[in-house]
Amino acid sequence: MGPGGNRGWLLRLVIAFSFAQGAVSMARPAVSYRALALGADERAIGVIAGVYALLPLFAAVPLGRRTDHGRCAPLLPAGVVLISGGCALSGLAGSLWAMAVWSGVMGLGHLCFVIGAQSLVARQSAPHEQDRNFGHFTIGASLGQLVGPIAAGALIGGPDRAGSSALALLVAGAGAAVAFTSLWRIEHRRTASTSRTGAGDRVPVHRILRARGVPAGILISLSVLSATDILTAYLPVVGEHRGIDPSVIGLLLSLRAAATIACRLVLTPLLRLLGRTALLTVTCLLAAVLCAGVAVPVPVWALALMLAALGFCLGVGQPLSMTTVVQAAPEDARSTALALRLTGNRLGQVAAPATAGLVAGVAGVAAPFVMLGALLLLSSGVALRAPAQPAAGEGAREVRPPRARRRSEA
């Protein structure tokens, strides 16, 4: 079955991604609570959150190179194994350094799964389906981000925070393993065969990065993911300081994820209404204001409204940055381009939490959200200046469908 054919593979990929992301989204706040129970301060939380992205930082491009000239599917079960093991072993760890190590294993597993899954979507989607299919694919992430924090909040509580957070991590590991059930024969034989026979000279990384649209897509994705990541890791710390119960924090994080799902369900009409450039610019600008607003000590209901609006705005950046990067990159280096985008994400996940930990230690736990606001403001400016479509002759192959579709994305 060629690209754009039977969409059963996409539904199964969304289901698998929901379980894998749900496990990670459940584990991240559980790691923070368990670290706090073991005596970690704000700086240590930032370091542990940063290690989650450290191993993937060095593995992304080699994995992308392999996927460009090979199959995508083997990365998916490998990622599930690493996520499941990282979650469970984080729950069994009795020291902060061990938690940091297993957090890194979890991050490596997430990277393997995401590179394989994104490459699968790019390879098995027709060009005019990519915005929609990437939007649907990222609904899987949002579903996981919706359920994971609620489950974590339900399990973590009481006087024994170390024990309850360990239980949450073990449950997350078991939940990740469920993703196996949706991965059987998910890659079409024709696209897998094409990827193997099409192997040629590797496109240099500098040529991919010079393609118009690729740097902008990387920065926007980095900013949006950093915002999501620091919200997940630091909202529990904010809750501790403001006296908000972990179950309420879990509901707030899930509300943010639900708003992101709502955004991606209406992404196609929003693109028709505003176009890709305007939509990215406006949502990054609004997200910058809302992120900074989280730093203000407001009532819980006001925080909930801000997080809902923030979740809607953050829902735009990831799928559209994927399409931007895929369509800007040379055809035989799309997986590598997506891996470079993920490398940017992981750079943000290493630098942003570590910087957030330093900022929180000096200026208070709400200060990292002001830092995120500044980063998103920069991204809105980059989105405004980015081309509506890749320029021909800069390593990008024009893959636009008919004129009607071009007008909808102009």
Residue 29's pLDDT band, with cuts at 50, 70 and 90, is confident
Q: How far is CA 370 from the centre of its chain?
A: 20
Specify the pLDDT at position 405: 40
Stronger pLDDT, 284 or 128, i.e. the higher one? 284
Whether 409 has a pLDDT exceeding 80, the answer reads no
Identify the sign of the CA torsion 94, 96, 97, 101: positive
Range scoring the smallest mean pLDDT among 37-46, 78-87, 90-99, 270-279:
37-46
> Distance between CA atoms of 227 and 238, rounded to whole angstroms?
15
Residue 21's pLDDT band, with cuts at 50, 70 and 90, is very high
Mean pLDDT of the chain: 79
Residue 5's pLDDT band, with cuts at 50, 70 and 90, is very low
Specify the pLDDT at position 339: 83
Specify the pLDDT at position 15: 92
Question: What is the mean pLDDT of the segment spanning 166-186?
Answer: 89
Question: What is the mean pLDDT of the segment spanning 65-89?
Answer: 84
Residue 197's pLDDT band, with cuts at 50, 70 and 90, is very low
The segment with the largest mean pLDDT, out of 15-24, 136-145, 204-213, 340-349, is 15-24
Question: What is the mean pLDDT of the segment spanning 366-378?
Answer: 80
Specify the pLDDT at position 67: 76
Exposed/middle/buried for 2, CB within 10 Å: 0-12, 13-18, 19+?
Answer: exposed
Whether 250 has a pLDDT exceeding 50, the answer reads yes
**Residue environment code for 76-112, b if the CB has 16+ CB neighbours within 10 A, otherwise e:** bbbbbbbbbbbbbbbbebeebeebbbbbbbbbbbbbb
Which domains are seen in the chain, by residue range? 8-192+207-409 (1.20.1250.20)
Whether 169 has a pLDDT exceeding 90, the answer reads yes
Specify the pLDDT at position 391: 42
User: Can you name the residues that pair with 392 across neighbouring β-strands?
Assistant: 396
Look at residue 392 and give its three-state secondary structure: strand
- DSSP E strands in 295-389: the ranges are none
Question: What is the mean pLDDT of the segment spanning 247-264?
Answer: 86
Stronger pLDDT, 352 or 47, i.e. the higher one? 47
**Residue 211 phi, psi (nearest 5):** -65, 130
Specify the pLDDT at position 43: 78
